[in-house]
Amino acid sequence: MATFIKLKNPPIREIIFTISFNENVPLEKLDAFKILPIIAEEFPAVDKGFNTQVVANNNETPVSKTNLDGYLLRSPISVARIIQARRGSFALHKYNGYVEFETLIDEFFKYWDLLIQCTGNLTINNISVRYLNFIEKNNQEKVEDLITVVTNQPYGEKLDNTFTQFKFQYHKKPEIAATIITAKGRVQNIDGIVLDIILNTQIGGRQEREFIWNSFFDMKSAKNDLFFRSITEKAIKKYNI
């Protein structure tokens, strides 16, 4: 396994772990989950999540239908966690700062096991890891000073839109589908570059905990590799002091 630098101040803004499954979980089972004592205590703020579909019959005007799809459960701001419990997926968000992968995956499976207690076994079809980074840039720095994902163009003009998106199968583990997005951004009046790394692995209904666990850790290794290949030495020094 490759060894990567452990940055002292990682530029992480949000981390999301997600499991998607085949079943369309009844809302009453999600209701049972959100009122479990440990969930109600740790995630006291509850928002409804909705799904909107556009339906068109024959030559009639399309009509949008909005249905309750699950819940967003929010921890106190000091904890900075959100659970998305939906009829076809389950996700844990960590925002406003970095937490070790091992810590977050333990939390994720703790809450996942509580969901399973309410729903019964679910047929997992996909797992996902997303790391949303924001790399600060001062007026003297160019985008290419900080990230290596740079698009060349023949027009000789300064581009206002530096959005890029690349999708590919990760070469070391082809079962991992990677999406890398970069764009100019601004957070609290600070200019910078968004580096969004999204990884997905199709599971195909396998339920073995060890297999799912190992697949998440394979994506951790892929995430580290892609992150450090996407930033420059200057960016590494910026976040390692």
Q: What does the pLDDT look like over 167-176, one tens digit per residue?
A: 999 999 999 9
CA distance to 58, 72, 113, 131, per residue, from 214 (Å): 48, 27, 17, 18
6 within domain boundaries: no
Give the per-residue pLDDT at 161. Answer: 64
Give the per-residue pLDDT at 241. Answer: 85
Give the per-residue pLDDT at 3. Answer: 61
1 within domain boundaries: no
Q: What is the C-alpha to C-alpha distance for residues 156 and 123, in angstroms, rounded to an integer?
A: 52
188 within domain boundaries: yes
What one-character DSSP code corresponds to residue 61? P
Which helix (H) or strand (E) segment is 15 a member of?
Answer: strand 12-21
CB-neighbour burial class of residue 145 (10 A; exposed 0-12, middle 13-18, buried 19+): middle
8 Å CB contact between 193 and 183: yes
Give the per-residue pLDDT at 64. Answer: 63
8 Å CB contact between 204 and 147: no
Q: Structural domain of residue 128, as residue ranges?
A: 12-238
Give the per-residue pLDDT at 58. Answer: 64
Low-confidence spans in the chain with pLDDT less than 70:
1-3, 52-65, 156-161
Give the per-residue pLDDT at 151. Answer: 78
The number of folded domains in the chain is 1
178 within domain boundaries: yes
5 within domain boundaries: no
165 within domain boundaries: yes
